[in-house]
Amino acid sequence: MRVLLFCMAFACANAAAQSAPPATFQAQSMRGLPALLARAVPRDPQVIAAQAALATTEARYKQARSRLFPNAALQATRGRSNDLDGTLEVQRRTHQVEASLRWNVYNGGADGAEMDAAGREVAGAAFDVQRARAESAEKLAEAYFDMQRLERGLLQSRERLRDVTQLVRQVMRQAELGKASEVDRELAQSSQLDAELVHDGLLTDRLAAQIKLEALAFEPVTQFADFTFAPLPAQALENADMQHAQLRAARERAAAAQLRVRSVAATLAPKVDLDVSHLLNNKTTPPPSTIQQRGWSVGVSWEFPLGGGSLAQRDESISRAQAADADVVRAEQGTRADLASMLPRIANAQRTLALLEEQEKKMAFVVRGGTIQYEAGRRNLQQIIQTRDSYFTIQQRRIDQMHRLTLAQMRQYALSGQLLQVFGLAQ
């Protein structure tokens, strides 16, 4: 009866494992991760928000640039009034159309500084779009690689569960023939339960990873292709500060904040306005004694806020520029530190992975030899189970180490500003 229950449990586990289509690992091609990223990244809300922010910044730049040009106006007036013309009271009707042009000729360079600053902010917003696309690609690729890790782990877990099930059947036959004890039978069944628990946990993790991946990709993902990162050249690591989108955006904003800092003389400088007007149509009846047909004027205004408002605005712009410079320094320090820490991590992961691959080969030989020795009666059941468990643990460690190496390499590409290029997403 117990054998029947174990067989049913094993069949259910296999059915659950086969309910979802198994992932197939293929050579690196456009059917794999790059194609998935090309479809998913433009639909990421983070990328859409960054593109909208870029459009907003471009509109602000156009607004700042328009300040350098004059403002044209057309004014139409229609009214009725009771006027006193000398000693005579007159009821006057007014129908008048006037065109005017107003131009701020000089304001201490405020418009030019604002336009230059807005231009640098447009460049910063463009780099923010690159940063958002890189972060979206990295997040989706991490979920993709996690799914690959679990698929590889499930493959090894299925093999282990199959081998343990065969071992249980062998021990059960030996127990029926009196060649194995009750303890051996219980030990074999306990090993099978452990394999089923591990396999069930991997199935659950795979399901959760699949849900997360498909949510990030906005589509079902059933096929996976291996993606390998080539070692970054030294030149790319040296130029990381010039390629990292987040750093470049921070530098552009710092430059924009610095452009808004004007000298005291420019802050307190007078403003010069030019006004030109021309009367296009006039049907005022009865006409007044004088009507201005056309004219122009130049006005100079020199304001001195007694409360110190202008100087306070200048102090605010200085503080904002200092804060922006500090943000650049902080971002540079963090990026350089993270990038430098990636080198020993990648080197250690590569060494560890090579050792684990060699250890797995040796342990596979031990498992095969131990099985032959067990059948010849030279090894006991507990030794066989421990050997196979150790072999499975090494397999899982190698898969996890491969996953950590891939993530570290991807993070190095992201910190050096090369992630979009390696995924074929550079614009």
The pLDDT-based confidence of 353 (bands split at 50, 70, 90) is very high
Q: Is the pLDDT of residue 32 over 70?
A: yes
Q: Among 245, 34, 24, 240, which Cα is nearest to 141's?
A: 34
**How far apart, in whole angstroms, are the C-alpha atoms of residue 251 and residue 273?**
35
Can you say how many angstroms the Cα of residue 285 is from the centroid of all Cα atoms in its chain?
69
Q: Is the pLDDT of residue 145 over 60?
A: yes
Contact 397, 356 (CB under 8 A): yes
pLDDT in tens, 357-378: 999 999 999 988 888 887 777 8
Residue with tokens 């690159």: 130
- Residue 192's alpha-carbon distances to 9, 90, 363, in angstroms, are 10, 112, 20
pLDDT at 275: 81
- CB count within 10 Å of CB 405 equals 18
Q: Is the pLDDT of residue 92 over 90?
A: no
| Averaged pLDDT for residues 317-325 | 88
* Least confident window among 128-142, 149-163, 168-182: 168-182
* Half-sphere exposure of residue 297: CA atoms within 13 angstroms, side-chain side: 8
- Residue 37's alpha-carbon distances to 139, 165, 216, 413, in angstroms, are 10, 41, 10, 16
Residue 425 DSSP SS3: coil
Q: Is the pLDDT of residue 289 over 50?
A: yes
**Residue 230 backbone phi and psi in degrees, to 5:** -75, 150
pLDDT at 299: 64
- Residue 184's alpha-carbon distances to 181, 196, 369, 390, in angstroms, are 5, 18, 20, 19
Residues β-bridged to residue 99: 74, 278
The pLDDT-based confidence of 12 (bands split at 50, 70, 90) is very low
Q: pTM, whole model, 2 decimals? A: 0.79
Percent above pLDDT 90 for the chain: 40
**∠ at Cα 366 (364, 372), nearest 5°?**
110
Higher pLDDT, 275 or 21: 275
Q: Among 340, 343, 357, 339, which Cα is nearest to 401's?
A: 357
Q: Which of 108-117, 175-184, 189-198 has the highest mean pLDDT?
A: 189-198
* Least confident window among 47-51, 141-145, 359-363, 366-370: 366-370
The pLDDT-based confidence of 254 (bands split at 50, 70, 90) is very high
Sheet holding 71-85, edge to edge: 71-85, 88-106, 271-282, 294-301
**How far apart, in whole angstroms, are the C-alpha atoms of residue 192 and residue 112?**
77
**How far apart, in whole angstroms, are the C-alpha atoms of residue 100 and residue 402?**
73
pLDDT in tens, 225-243: 888 898 888 888 888 888 8
* Least confident window among 42-51, 102-111, 112-121: 102-111
Write the single-letter amino acid at 343. Answer: L
Mean pLDDT of all residues belonging to the chain: 83
Higher pLDDT, 210 or 176: 210
Q: Is the pLDDT of residue 5 over 50?
A: no
**How far apart, in whole angstroms, are the C-alpha atoms of residue 76 and residue 98?**
6
| Averaged pLDDT for residues 372-399 | 87
